């Protein structure tokens, strides 16, 4: 499949671009949309405003109560969800073809005209705080928070608040904060909507125009790209959580590379060979040969939108195997760093990544995820068609140089969350 030929791109309204990809699936339609306004656009003093605003969109509009909205959707078996990611406000809907107009109208109504009732906000805050309290016992989440707070400075996009800080932020938010955020951030301008499935192009465009034309425009600027991570230091963070039979470990460091860098794909591939899937080195040694863990992997993260990110290895170990597990992991990372990847490994992983790309297009959700992520990153649709060529052009000797350019095995941050032995 060629994306450039299969995806129909339109701008039916100024500031709203649609990407339509009809497939042979019967009756089903999946829609996803996004616009600038994620958590990084919140008031700098309180980064929870964006996520509370999006979570309140289904709690009532100028014309419908929350129960009228949910009754309408559920009577069709349709679903609409709103969420804030770091940069974007995202929505996703699944419905049957016959219900598409109603679902589009409900998306538009909720995103354009929410009313943020105080009673609903208080209820939502109680639930969000409850979930945050529960996450204090989540070993994976706690290990990740510890890791990100160590490798990034407080103002970095990839820095993470503690649970207590998040709870404090949520408690102080009022419905006026949400109304102000909605009024100044939500609107046409950067809105992209992708749809896939049993869909007719003209019908979809017509309904988008019908329900979105009257929306106001916003002029939201993209975030500046330059953002430095913490200077690397060898460090260890430990969070003790009682009664846990398995601990989560993050080992890694900040990394001065973004997805826009010409070194990015090479580094991504090098790290994929270390820990990208089951047949990668970490799973083959630390799990398959030594039996120390159920799961271990390694990846680059936080490198999107021109920002430098980090790379990490994550694994789980029983409390009495933590030291052994970390030593085995570090040994494998050092072996990878010192000996480099082989040409044979690269050939194998090229077909893995290219084949995975093809397999990921098997569902409507997989298709539009690729399209929307691509457009959010300001890439031409042809990037998706050229992806295979980019992967195939990678050279193992260059990758080994890139690994040495960006990775420093002497300065890892290790974050552990779990129970002491």
Partner 1 sequence: MNNQFEQIKSSGDIDEYRLKSNDLRVLMLQDTSTPVATFMVTYHVGSRNEAIGYTGSTHLLEHLMFKGSRNFNKEKGTAIWDELQSIGAQINATTWNDRTNYFEVVPSEHIEKAISIEADRMRFSFLRDEDRQPEMTVVRNEYERGENSPFDVLDKNIWATAYQAHPYHHSTIGWKSDIENVSTERLKEFYDVYYWPNNATVTIIGDFEKDNTLSLIDKYFGEHKKSSHEIPEVYTEEPKQEGTRRVVVKRSGQSGITAIAHKTPPGLDNDMYAIQVLGKILCDGKSSRLYKKIVDKGLATSLFMYDFPFKDNGLFITYAFLTPGTDNQKVEDIILKEYSDIIKNGVDESEIMRAVAQIRATVAFSRDGSYAVASALNEAIAIGDWQFYTTFLEKIKLVTINDITRVAEKYLVEDQSTVGWFIPKIIDK
Q: Looking only at residues 21 through 50 of this chain, which bind partner 1 when binding is defined by CB under 8 A? A: 23-28, 30
In the list 245, 338, 339, 389, the residue contacting partner 1 (rule: CB under 8 A) is 245
Q: What's the closest the beta carbon of residue 337 comes to partner 1, in angstroms?
A: 22
28-36 and 191-197 beta bridge pairing: antiparallel
Residues 318-347, one symbol each (x = binds partner 1 by CB under 8 A, - = not), give x--x--------------------------
| Cα–Cα distance for residue pair 202/211, rounded to 1 Å | 14
In 10 A of CB 204, how many CB atoms? 23
Distance CA 377, CA 385 (A): 15
Residue 161 or 285: the one with the smaller Cβ distance to partner 1 is: 285
Pick between residue 241 and residue 330 the one whose CB is nearest to partner 1. Answer: 241
List the interface residues with partner 1, window 69-88 (CB under 8 A): 70-71, 73-78
Closest CB to partner 1 among residues 44, 291: 291
Write out the binding residues for partner 1, residues 181-200 only, by CB under 8 A. Answer: 197
Interface segment toward partner 1; rule CB under 8 A; list 148-156, 201-209, 241-249, 306-314: 241-249
Q: Is 358 among the residues that bind partner 1 (CB under 8 A)?
A: yes
Using CB under 8 A as the binding rule, whether residue 238 contacts partner 1 is answered as no
Query: Could you tell me the sign of the dihedral formed by the alpha carbons of 310, 311, 313, 314, in that order?
Result: positive
Based on the shown chain and the rule CB under 8 A, indicate whether residue 416 belongs to the binding site for partner 1: no
Q: How many CA atoms lie within 13 A of 85 on its CB side?
A: 14
Residue 74 token pair? 């559920």
Q: Under the criterion CB under 8 A, does residue 127 sit at the interface with partner 1?
A: yes
Q: Where in 360-379 is the site for partner 1 (CB under 8 A)?
A: 361-366
Of 35 and 73, which has the nearer Cβ to partner 1? 73
Structure tokens at 207: 């309904």
Where in 260-299 is the site for partner 1 (CB under 8 A)?
277-279, 287-294
What is the 3 state secondary structure string of 74-99?
Answer: HCCCCEEEEEECCCEEEEEEEEEHHH
Phi then psi for 379, rounded to 5 degrees?
-100, 150
Residues 150 and 153: their CA atoms lie apart, in Å, by 8
The span from the CA of 142 to the CA of 375, in Å, is: 32
Q: How far is the CB of 128 from partner 1 (least distance, A)?
A: 8
């Amino acid at each position: 499949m060629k994306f450039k030929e299969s995806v129909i791109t339109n701008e039916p309204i100024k500031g709203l671009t649609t990407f339509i990809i009809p497939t042979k699936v019967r009756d089903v339609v999946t829609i996803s949309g996004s616009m600038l306004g994620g958590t990084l656009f919140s008031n700098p003093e309180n980064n929870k405003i964006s996520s509370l605003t999006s979570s309140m969109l289904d709690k009532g509009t100028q014309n419908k109560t929350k129960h009228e909205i949910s009754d309408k959707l559920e009577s069709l078996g349709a679903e609409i969800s709103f969420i804030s990611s770091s940069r974007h406000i995202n929505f996703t809907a699944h419905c049957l073809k016959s219900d598409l107009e109603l679902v589009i109208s409900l998306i538009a109504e909720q995103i354009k005209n929410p009313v943020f009732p105080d009673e609903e906000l208080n209820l939502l805050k109680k639930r969000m705080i409850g979930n945050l309290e529960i996450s204090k016992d989540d070993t994976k989440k706690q290990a990740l928070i510890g890791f990100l707070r160590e490798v990034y400075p407080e103002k970095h996009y990839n820095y993470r608040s503690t649970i207590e800080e998040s709870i404090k932020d949520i408690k102080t938010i009022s419905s006026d904060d949400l109304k102000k955020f909605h009024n100044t951030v939500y609107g046409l301008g950067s809105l992209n909507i992708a749809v896939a499935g049993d869909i007719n192009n003209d019908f979809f465009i017509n309904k988008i125009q019908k329900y979105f034309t009257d929306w106001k425009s916003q002029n939201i600027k993209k975030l500046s790209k330059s953002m430095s991570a913490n200077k690397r230091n060898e460090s260890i963070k430990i969070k003790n959580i009682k009664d846990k039979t398995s601990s989560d470990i993050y080992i890694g460091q900040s990394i001065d590379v973004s997805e826009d860098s010409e070194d990015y794909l090479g580094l991504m591939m090098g790290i994929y060979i270390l820990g990208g899937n089951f047949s990668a080195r970490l799973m083959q040694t630390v799990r398959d040969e030594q039996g120390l863990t159920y799961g271990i992997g390694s990846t680059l993260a936080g490198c999107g939108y021109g920002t430098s990110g980090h790379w990490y290895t994550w694994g789980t170990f029983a409390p009495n195997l933590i030291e052994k597990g970390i030593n085995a992991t570090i040994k494998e990372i050092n072996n990878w760093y010192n000996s480099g990847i082989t040409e044979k490994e690269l050939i194998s992983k090229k077909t893995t990544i290219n084949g995975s790309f093809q397999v990921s297009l098997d569902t409507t959700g997989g298709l539009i995820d690729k399209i929307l992520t691509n457009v959010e990153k300001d890439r031409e649709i042809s990037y998706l068609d050229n992806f295979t060529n980019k992967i195939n052009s990678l050279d193992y000797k260059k990758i080994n140089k890139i690994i040495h350019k960006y990775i420093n095995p002497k300065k890892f941050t290790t974050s552990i969350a779990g129970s002491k032995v």
